[in-house]
Amino acid sequence: MQESDWDLYLKRLVDETKAAIRQFAAQHGGEEVCYFAYDSEPRYGYVLTCFNTSSASLETARKRREYHTQYRRKLMADPVWFDSAYYQTKAHALLPFCNNTGDFAYQGFTEIKFPEWQEYAESPNYPEAEEDDDDYLINRVARLFCRATDQLVEERIFEQLRLARPTLAGFGFHDHEQHVLHILNLPDAVS
């Protein structure tokens, strides 16, 4: 795989994301979008476009609040967890929004295929990595997502959607945490 291939992948990703945003706006124009994210498992050669709505995000936050608050209280009352209270607190921390594309209202709205990635990942030429942070595809695809999201924001593509105040844009690799790259439609500062 050559580094110049990534410019072609960027073009494909941006073009197909623009098409996904147009399609979402046409099919779900009345829905308020609060989060757009890419979800990918690069070794399997796919990128999902994911859209979450404000109502779905709030419902997920409510459910997680109920579950994690009760579970955390139960754990903190049991002396066996005293020595790992900080870890348990982090593991059951709350957010005021949904930060997992698997729980988005429209997870996998469209799928953009990159079979070349899977072919390369399965080839004997694929560079070995000890950790995800060192993985060739993870690093190249993270850079690709940054560049694509920056371009979409600069071209004001997200403005086709009914955006919440604020709206997040980012990415995640399957079963890993999300990374917010842009905060769009921020409310004006209150004096």
Residue 94 has pLDDT above 80, yes or no: no
Alpha-carbon dihedral of residues 173, 175, 176, 180, nearest 10 degrees?
A: 60
Domain ranges in the chain are 5-184
Q: How far is CA 118 from CA 1, 73, 91, 125, 135, in A?
A: 11, 44, 32, 12, 13
156-177 burial: b if 16+ Cβ within 10 Å, else e: ebbeebbbbeebbbbbbbeeee
Contacts of 41 (CB under 8 A, 6+ apart): 173, 174
Residue 190 has pLDDT above 70, yes or no: no
Q: How far is CA 5 from CA 13, 26, 37, 100, 136, in A?
A: 12, 32, 23, 29, 14
Q: Tokens in use for 108?
A: 């996998």
Residue 127 has pLDDT above 90, yes or no: yes
What is the C-alpha to C-alpha distance for residues 98 and 132, in angstroms, rounded to an integer?
24
Token pair 């404000």: residue: 54
Residue 173 has pLDDT above 70, yes or no: yes
Return the bridge partners of 37, or none.
50, 170
Q: How far apart are the first and last CA of the chain?
A: 52
Tell me the per-residue pLDDT of 30-80, one tens digit each, with 9 for 90 and over: 999 999 999 999 999 999 999 999 999 999 889 988 988 898 888 888 888
pTM: predicted TM-score of the whole model, two decimal places: 0.88
